[in-house]
Amino acid sequence: MAKLDHPNIVKLYEAFDTPKRTVLILELVTGGELFEALVKRQTPYYERDAADIIRNVLRGVAYMNSMGVCHRDLKPENLLIQGDDPKNIKITDFGLSKDFTQNTLITSCGTASYAAPEVLLSSPYTSFCDVWSVGVITFILLSAEFPFHGRSEAEIFKAILSYRYCFRDGIWNHISSKAKDFIAKIFVESESRMSAEECLEHPWLSERDSEERVLSISGKLGDLFSRSHRVIIPRDDVMDDDDEMQIYS
């Protein structure tokens, strides 16, 4: 975090090590988590709002990746809002991030529902795994649904590994073809996946639609995020039973 300085990333000011704790002095972000704000939203929520949010997330991701850092756990809980504007996004929680200029990315880690296939397979992967996670967040922002489904965790993993998702009728009929194309170009093998920079140049983000599509997802988001999702913790990062983490504001 010390090497990152970007408007869409929570800034680290200082870090102190003690025998029992590491203390991080972070930028104060007052707006809470992104999806909490969307659940409580009282004004209409448009597809263009989702595009504006994702554009700012990708600006942070593109910068972070250009600095040799892969986040590896991008998800709604790690997107904070500065102030009252949901588009003013700050990426946080770099606990599973890694400098890939010095190390090969191979550890299976992150949150299962947002993890790219190559991460689940523990095969060498690139920072393009962060773009996959942004694709999952985009899918949820537009539909209040996860893209990959199954009756068990094993079935969900199988769906992710086979790139099996669909735009369900009823929900996606009202969403633009540009948005669907944006998602389709992310949920592919990493070699064919758009980079964060290429995502920012996609017509869904670079061109403004003349038609504004209202999305009714707030209530559904509340139900979606009342369920927990398993976190994959790398073996070399597991904390001992005596360790503790405290956050002070």
The set of catalytic residues is 73
Residue 156 DSSP code: H
Q: Find, among 33, 37, 31, 32, the residue nearest to 218 by Cα.
A: 37
Strand partners, 25: 14
Centroid of chain to Cα 95: 14
186 near 135, Cβ under 8 Å? yes
3-state secondary structure the chain: CCCCCCCCECCEEEEEECCCCEEEEECCCCCCEHHHHHHHCCCCEEHHHHHHHHHHHHHHHHHHHHCCEECCCCCHHHEEECCCCCCCEEECCCCCCEECCCCCECCCCEEHHHCCHHHHCCCCECCHHHHHHHHHHHHHHHHCCCCCCCCCHHHHHHHHHCCCCCCCCCCHHHCCHHHHHHHHCCCCCCCCCCCHHHHHCCHHHHCCCCCCCEECCHHHHHHHCCCCCCEECCHHHCCCCCCCCCCCC
